[in-house]
Amino acid sequence: MIVVPVPLAERTYDVFVGPGAVDALASTVPPGARRAAIVTQSGLGIDVDPGIEHRTFVIGTGEATKTLASVEDLCRQLAQWGLTRADVVIAVGGGMVTDVAGFAAAVYHRGVELISVSTTLLGQIDAAIGGKTGVNLPEGKNLVGAFWQPRAVICDTDFLATLPPRELRSGMGELAKYHFLDDGSHGSAPLEALTLDEQVARCVAIKAAVVASDEREGGRRATLNYGHTLAHALEIAGSFDLRHGEAVAIGLVYAAELARVLGRIDDARVAEHRTVVSGYDLPVGLPAGSDADELVALFGRDKKAIDGVTFVLDGPDGVETVTDVDRGAIDEALALMTTQGVTR
């Protein structure tokens, strides 16, 4: 098992990565906790034992249930059971569970300890790490939430063996993102040359370093949203059959095209983005029926948009935030996606 620390100013916690990592769960439960609320979704078939009295709370599935109403319903159930501030919430599932359970833990009794047991690739390399929790509004994704760092994160890679193929592929969209955030400081071997366990641990280490330097997304942490501006717009539009990682994959290619239009990168770097994304059998073009005006309107609602339309883009100094991007450049890059991209 690989243990990756997330070093924060107030508290460092560990991420346990590898087959059988869930066996470490009981050792991460806070001393003095009498009860553990296990928050999960139906159909996962994963039972965990925190070593103390526990009860399972099942939340809904899909983005449509990632709402304030779901958080309220969960908190009411916790109150009816009698969960106290000294107890612990254990999120067992993917990114949806991490977001809803994490947000509930952040606000219930003004903060209850949280442990994440991530069961998807997307969750293990992204959603469960770093303490960002949140739910959607009709106006946009993740617009209401809180920073609430977990006490520990369990990334048992045995869980990945039973993921549906499309769910695993969705996680590959986030994995593709880390190809362009890896500066080599966490190991010299390229990401694609590692075993799956090592890939998960490398991604966790990359994200941990970013979070440690910018816990509340005041600057550098926004780079973790590489590819997400278009991805979130496609997800909010709602008419496309896209998983999150698939949308991120399209967003990565679009971000590369936009960076080229702005003169930040060259043709070879764009081609590298397309090669990495397609190498994971992910889409590289806009889905049929995409409307440029709708997408641009949704870009303006993105939570990074603090000074005009804002993107995270590659460039000579690496991936960074670029504000007030010109509409003409946005449209030109969208047109390149439409004519050159092929949705798989």
DSSP letter (8 states) at residue 276: H
**Architecture of domain 2-213 in this structure:** 3-Layer(aba) Sandwich (3.40)
DSSP letter (8 states) at residue 295: H
C-alpha 150/C-alpha 96 separation (Å) is 15
Helix 327-340 vs helix 244-261: crossing angle, to nearest 10: 120
Enumerate the active-site residues.
Answer: 110, 132, 174, 207, 217, 221, 225, 228, 232, 244
Largest CA distance in the chain: 60
Which structure tokens are listed for 292? 């440029």
Query: Do residues 125 and 4 touch, judged by C-beta distance below 8 A?
Result: no
Q: Is 195 left (phi over 0), alpha (psi -120 to 50) or beta?
A: beta
Query: Do residues 148 and 106 touch, judged by C-beta distance below 8 A?
Result: yes
Give the Cα-Cα-Cα angle 253, 131, 219 (nearest 5 degrees).
Answer: 55
Residue 144: beta bridge partners?
135
Kindly list the domain boundaries of the chain, sorted by start residue: 2-213, 226-340
Across 21-35, b (16+ Cβ under 10 Å) vs e yields bbebbeebbeeebeb
pTM of the model: 0.88
Helix 165-179 vs helix 267-279: crossing angle, to nearest 10: 150
Query: Do residues 105 and 89 touch, judged by C-beta distance below 8 A?
Result: yes
**Architecture of domain 226-340 in this structure:** Up-down Bundle (1.20)
| Per-residue pLDDT in tens (0 to 9) along the chain, 344 residues | 999 999 887 788 999 999 999 999 999 999 999 999 999 999 888 999 999 999 999 999 888 889 999 999 999 999 999 999 999 999 999 989 999 999 999 999 999 999 999 999 999 999 899 888 999 988 877 889 999 999 999 999 999 999 999 999 999 999 999 999 998 888 889 898 999 999 999 999 999 999 988 877 777 888 999 999 999 999 888 678 888 999 999 999 999 999 999 999 999 999 999 999 999 999 999 998 888 899 998 888 665 555 678 999 999 999 999 999 999 999 999 999 975 444 44
CA distances from 37 to 55, 58, 86, 101 (A): 5, 10, 12, 10
